[in-house]
Structure 1
């Protein structure tokens, strides 16, 4: 098995993977997406993701691996589109003078996507408790009653959610340095 650190071998394997399977993956994507441009972009994103992971030397079943990566990319694509659509719908409700600049709109959308990714990494009960507290403003006792769990569980879930938020903020902070 080739060593991961050899960039020449990695590049040859990636080129082979791309040339052997690009057309097939693009056709598969086109059948699942609304337009050809999105299919082309997401097909390319699939190969870029594999390339950045530098794992092409570990792929035993190329098409199965490509499908696994592509399905994740498609899921992210639709999720991002859903968030963007909801945000645009809310923007449309604002009076013109309250409309944020294009730059601020982009920053807000990126932040919403990051929050969504953060929440998606939480277990379902933790996410539910966190949203009930932070979005709906419910007290821990109310959350416990609504979810049918103990107050201690709510506190444990909230601690877990806050720790996840702190880790995310720390990663974001150090990425900027």
Structure 2
């Protein structure tokens, strides 16, 4: 099969696999609208990535892209839920809702943390997120990433060192004024 990333073949690649991918995603998410969104985003990601010489298993390739999108969406939803829980707890503890300034400071902090994690290379970032957000064990992470447990440990050390350096950076206050 020709590269799905080239202009002459993406239309046929899309035609051949879009319906299947959307159906697969619908079974995974239980929501036809979300499945359609994830399918479209999967093909968009395929368009912007470097060309692939040959795809022996195009559906496996698309499934991997779509699975990552679903996982990212799930993480984002858990983060939003945690934020709502923090807001509720804050309001109950302080008998008032946080001020607009407090909300903006927390949002700045969350944005800074998200940028910090995005600075990591792909596998260390994914290992860190799987560990911290998904609560996955190192063995599960190793299996998901297709690496050894010792590599997962190295990825985690790399991510934690990156965070430690950022937290102790002299310019941190300028980048994230919400931090104490």
TM-score for the superposition, normalised by structure 1: 0.57
- Pairwise CA distance, 1:122: 7.9
- The yes-or-no answer on 1:83 pairing with 2:83 is no
CA distance in 2, matches of 1:98, 1:47: 41
CA distance in 2, matches of 1:31, 1:51: 24
Secondary structure at the residue paired with 1:58? Answer: coil
> How far did residue 38 of structure 1 move?
1.2
For the 8 Å contact 1:14–1:56, the answer to whether it is kept is no
1:96 partner SS:
coil
User: Is the 1:87–1:109 contact (alpha carbons within 8 Å) kept by the matching residues of 2?
Assistant: no
- Find 1:162's aligned residue among 161, 164, 168: 164
Partner of 1:29: 25
- Residue 51 of structure 1 aligns with which residue? 47
Give the C-alpha shift of residue 105 in structure 1: 7.1
Number of residue pairs matched? 135
CA distance in 1, matches of 2:106, 2:163: 26
1:42 aligns with 2:38: yes
**Are residues 1:12 and 2:8 paired?**
yes
- What's the offset of the Cα at 1:59? 2.1
Q: What does residue 96 of structure 1 align with?
A: 97
C-alpha separation in 1, matches of 2:126 and 2:107: 25
1:70 corresponds to: 66
The change in CA–CA distance for 1:58 and 1:160 in structure 2 (over 3 A counts) is same
* Cα offset, 1:60, TM superposition: 2.3
Paired with 1:74 and 1:157, the residues of 2 have a C-alpha distance of 23
Output the CA distance in 1 between the equivalents of 2:55 and 2:167.
34
Alpha-carbon spacing, 1:122–1:14, altered in 2? closer, same or farther (3 Å): closer
Alpha-carbon RMSD across the aligned residues, in angstroms, is 4.1
Task: Point out where structure 1 has 5 or more consecutive residues left out of the alignment.
Answer: 129-154
- Summarize the Cα distance change of 1:106–1:48 in structure 2 as closer, same or farther, 3 Å threshold: farther
Report if the CA contact (8 A) 1:26-1:40 is conserved.
yes
Aligned residues of 1:83 and 1:113 also touching (Cα < 8 A):
no
Residue 85 of structure 1, CA deviation: 1.0
Structure 1 or 2: more helix by fraction: 1
